[in-house]
Structure 1
């Protein structure tokens, strides 16, 4: 991999070629894994194919805070290693679908970062290229939602050349103060 400095000095065309080659290599490495995986900021989903007709009693699935083991009883595990980051064991589950695929849901302990891989030592992805799914304001908790709505309002106000919510609060406070102190001259007062 090139250093960031080398990458920054590339032309747009050279970057496109470099990125395409890196993406192709990453896709090949991920396809060679004995499982498929995807993630959101909050969780990781892993699917492992097993022989058709497999029953849950034939499986060994061991989900721990720092490790994951998946396989068929009496055989070498398909996955057995240290997880890239810690998970919340009580919120992580697995299911056997159609007697041929084990689907594992791992709840990230810190739901604010992208994982480079599922198991340490396995091929990594470039997390700077991860495109997150669009989230809805309704998905956010009240405090975060309020903060985001305020930022969006302020951004729209600035774009329209209008005062932001903070500017409006200051103006309202000044108006109240002026009403309480009519004897003072505010004609030369500057906001800003």
Structure 2
């Protein structure tokens, strides 16, 4: 029988998570843009010098890709999305900031409002989406059915991380317990749940 690697202790897990988060923050801080997301959309922002106007920008939003920057210069962001967006619900603006500069803001509506993105474009460093806290999202904005599905996904993710059964596995086990109680004459010793 092969030896299994020991699971990290809680303090080791905390250190590993802390190191991973620090690396993630360092990688993200080196990007020429900032980005945030909710379960339904993403926002990409970049600082633009005050002397530029919207007509000086080159912004192309497609269903599966994005290119944005100042005309004639290296793009601030360019690449393929990890997942498609809703093109008609996505837009960009250039706003003057109180500091005197300008900010390019790109709003991207996710085609699948049920998944977190690890990055805006596939060439960028990834973030750990399993560490996203539901408080960061606007679950209250979702309709009842979608919210229920998101909450179930989050519950199942927490259960898996803890090595516990998912909601579907719990449901199957409960059905099996009830069936066994109703049919004590049957032998379930070799029954397999799948």
> Cα offset for 1:132?
2.2
Q: TM-score w.r.t. structure 2 length?
A: 0.67
CA RMSD of aligned residues (A): 2.5
1:74 is matched with 72
CA–CA separation in structure 1 for the residues paired with 2:122 and 2:139: 32
Q: 3-state SS of the aligned residue for 2:86?
A: strand
In structure 2, the CA distance between the partners of 1:9 and 1:36, relative to structure 1 (3 Å rule), is: same
2:62 is matched with 64
Residues 60 and 71, structure 1, Cα contact 8 Å, conserved in 2? yes
CA–CA separation in structure 1 for the residues paired with 2:103 and 2:23: 26
CA–CA separation in structure 2 for the residues paired with 1:121 and 1:145: 31
The count of aligned residue pairs is 143
The structure having more radius of gyration, on CA atoms, is 1
Q: 3-state SS of the aligned residue for 2:8?
A: coil
Q: 3-state SS of the aligned residue for 1:10?
A: coil
Give 1:19's match in structure 2, choosing from 17, 20, 27: 17
Matched, 1:103 2:101: no
Q: 3-state SS of the aligned residue for 1:87?
A: coil
Give ranges in structure 1 of 5+ residues lacking alignment: 148-192
Q: TM-score w.r.t. structure 1 length?
A: 0.67
Residues 88 and 106, structure 1, Cα contact 8 Å, conserved in 2? yes
Give ranges in structure 2 of 5+ residues lacking alignment: 150-194
Q: Provide, for residues 122-164 of structure 1, a one-character-per-residue CA deviation record: whole Å limited to 9, x for no partner.
A: 1000000001236465x343656799xxxxxxxxxxxxxxxxx
Runs of 4 or more consecutive aligned structure 1 residues displaced over 2 Å after TM superposition = 132-137, 139-147
